[in-house]
Amino acid sequence: MIQAGDCSQAFALAEAHADLDLVMLDYHLPDMNGLTALSVFGKNHPELPIIMLSGSTGTHRVRQFLSAGAAGFVTKSSHSDELLKAVRQVLEGDVYLPPDFENHANIVEPEKPDAGQLLTKKQHLVLRGIVDGLSNREIAESMHVSEETIKSHVTAILRHFEVQNRTQAVVAAAKSGYFSTSQ
């Protein structure tokens, strides 16, 4: 585990440690707000899943976090078992919401991704594996990479299509023409 006291230090650590699996990002930071930091992480490390932490639990705030690319949200008052559940779920490529929010189906309002922003070749291969019903492990074996690498690609795919799970990603990819005969 690596900790940073402010965003400048966090950005430097993320650059220095390409093997990071996950970032836990507080909304209230000394040098910038969490939404701005989330945007910087998203631009510089789109494959890196980020769980936002905040004491503010309003639906509007959670929607902001997820729309900005967070892979999950946990309140600061959460118990450690909920935090562990969030980390596990996000590392598996899913989006995590606290139990209080899981019933709010409209927290995330997916939009059609910009056609100019394409997946990388590796992300496209991972997406093809997802479409074929392969597990992360099976995709990792077929691509000769680690399962953690695949999890990172899945997270980036979910962010790209602004969806919450693998099934939604497949539907969004099909609607966006990812599986046309030219690909």
Beta bridge partners of 28: 33
- Enter the pTM of the model: 0.59
Instruction: Count other C-beta atoms under 10 Å from residue 135's C-beta.
Output: 12
Q: Is residue 146 included in any domain, yes or no?
A: yes
Q: Is residue 100 included in any domain, yes or no?
A: no
Q: Is residue 64 included in any domain, yes or no?
A: yes
Q: Give the total number of structural domains in the chain.
A: 2
pLDDT band (50, 70, 90) for residue 141: very high
Please tell me whether residues 87 and 16 are part of one structural domain: yes
- CATH assignment of the domain containing 157: 1.10.10.10
Please tell me whether residues 17 and 86 are part of one structural domain: yes
- CATH assignment of the domain containing 59: 3.40.50.2300
Q: What is the pLDDT of residues 77-92, one digit of tens each?
A: 888 898 999 999 888 8
- The domain in which residue 43 lies consists of 7-91
Q: What is the pLDDT of residues 112-128, one digit of tens each?
A: 444 445 777 788 889 98
Q: Is residue 97 included in any domain, yes or no?
A: no
Is the distance from CB of 52 to CB of 82 less than 8 angstroms?
no
Q: Burial of 99 by CB count in 10 Å (0-12 exposed, 13-18 middle, 19+ buried)?
A: exposed
Domain end (from 74, 91, 108):
91
